Amino acid sequence: MNEQELRSLVERMVLELAGEGPANRAASSPTPQESSSGCLEDITQTDLREQYLVEHPRSGPAFLALKKKTPARLGLGRAGARYRTLSMLRMRADHAAAQDSVFSHVPDEFALQNGFTPVQTLCQSKDEYLTRPDRGRRFDEQNQATIQKTFGRSPKIALVVGDGLSSAAIEANAVDCLQAVRAGLKAYGLEGGPVLYVKYCRVGASDHIGELTGAEVVCMLVGERPGLVTAESMSAYLTYKPHIGIPESKRTVISNIHRGGTTAVEAGAHIAELIKTMLDKKASGIDLKG
């Protein structure tokens, strides 16, 4: 059997196992079809909230209505005691995307193309970043000097982008979110100032930045640990007068910033409003709720 015959066999098996039964085809997304380029379509583009793979359901439309409220893997169907082939392939594809996002890097040109000032924590590699979180919270003397030069002394607002645990999240969301933040701040009569980009960044790096600059509010956009729902989730951590050793409870967080959650533009508008509130009330985290 040559390569083309083997490939045709695999594609035929996937189509047969993934597209059984008229009820399934009516209630779920289309089964994988071969594109004009000769490749199967990307199954990760299917919205899990619209995919129902149970054959002959008692109440398929009602279950589909329920699924629209969550991206959880419900109604996957089964083949005997196992998941269906399509369900297993999708889970493995989403898991691979999450792993890729953790181990890949934001391109070096990303910061320069967007006018960000690049700095790096004490970590020298991705492996060190993953195994030594403490080194992702601090900067050496050279990078400290760059941070101080970028923000000056006692800025009102310090905007920071950190790669974090998901390069895909930053590439997908950071620029749009920052544009919305700047527009919102301008509406409040505030200036966002320069943006710092931190490589090998942990959230605690914002505390060192606050201590170095005396910034009143530090807003850090950072890639979050990816899961099976999305590998592009970003969060914003906002802290009033951060310093090394500040309790985590003093941070205000906006999480799940991605196209399937809180969109980048919507999050940016909310971040600008939060920054204005923090400056007015001189507090963040649990102190802001008091």
Q: What is the pLDDT of residue 2?
A: 60
Q: What is the pLDDT of residue 28?
A: 44
Work out the average pLDDT over 101-126.
92
Enter the tokens of residue 216. Answer: 């009143």
Alpha-carbon torsion (73, 165, 168, 241), positive or negative: positive
Strands 157-162 and 217-223: parallel
Work out the average pLDDT over 7-13.
65
Task: Provide, rounded to the nearest whole percent, the portion of the chain with pLDDT above 70.
Answer: 86
Enter the tokens of residue 168. Answer: 């895909």
Please tell me the total number of residues recorded for the chain in this structure: 290
* Cα separation, 190 vs 182, whole angstroms: 9
pTM given for the model? 0.77
Residue 205: pLDDT band by 50, 70, 90 thresholds?
very high
* Cα separation, 12 vs 93, whole angstroms: 19
Work out the average pLDDT over 152-172.
94
Q: Which residue has the tokens 């007068």?
A: 241
Classify residue 105 by burial, with Cβ atoms within 10 Å: 0-12, 13-18, 19+.
Answer: exposed
